[in-house]
Amino acid sequence: MSIAVYPGSFDPITLGHLNIIRRSAAIFNEVLVCVMVNSGKNPLFNLDERVELIERTVARFQNVRVESSAKLLVEFMKERDANVIVKGLRAVSDFDREFQIAMINRKLDESIETVFVPSSEKYTYISSTVVKEMARYGADLETFVPMEIIEDVKRKVESEGWR
């Protein structure tokens, strides 16, 4: 059974992320979306909120689960017998960074493979950072985030005083 892990901070999940999840779910027996702690970021949503937002968004997929982890990704994967990391790529600049991380993960555990999934062209400009910025200015979020969480993003931006 092939178990793939799609790691990220997902703050918040975007339509681009959802596209990668949908396509990965069609390839692998099981996809674990792993909300990771990134010490270099100051998230809008806390870890539990991000997990809950993603769970609502991916409920339509039978073979997708959502978890969180503050561990090294390879440790998380070992505990779940996962052997594939899925990484979405929007541009060549993403590849440079993700390739380096893939090599580090491979050095930590030779049994782990990284699969790069190119973003569908209509999502190449979308990032969580862009979503938060658009929400800050009251822009229509329909083309940025799944409809299930649009109101959550708006409320969170307003309650955090980001506007």
* Residues annotated as part of the active site: 17, 41, 90, 128
Compute the distance between CA of residue 144 and CA of residue 56 in angstroms, rounded to an integer.
16
143 — phi, psi (to 5°)?
-95, 10
Indicate the DSSP class of residue 138: T
**DSSP code string of 33-69:** EEEE--TT---SS-HHHHHHHHHHHHTT-TTEEEEEE
Reduced to 3 states (helix: H, G, I; strand: E, B; else coil), residue 114 is strand
Indicate the DSSP class of residue 95: H
Indicate the DSSP class of residue 118: E
Q: How far apart are the two ends of the chain, measured CA to CA in Å?
A: 46
Given a contact cutoff of 8 angstroms between Cβ atoms, the answer to whether 147 and 10 are in contact is: no
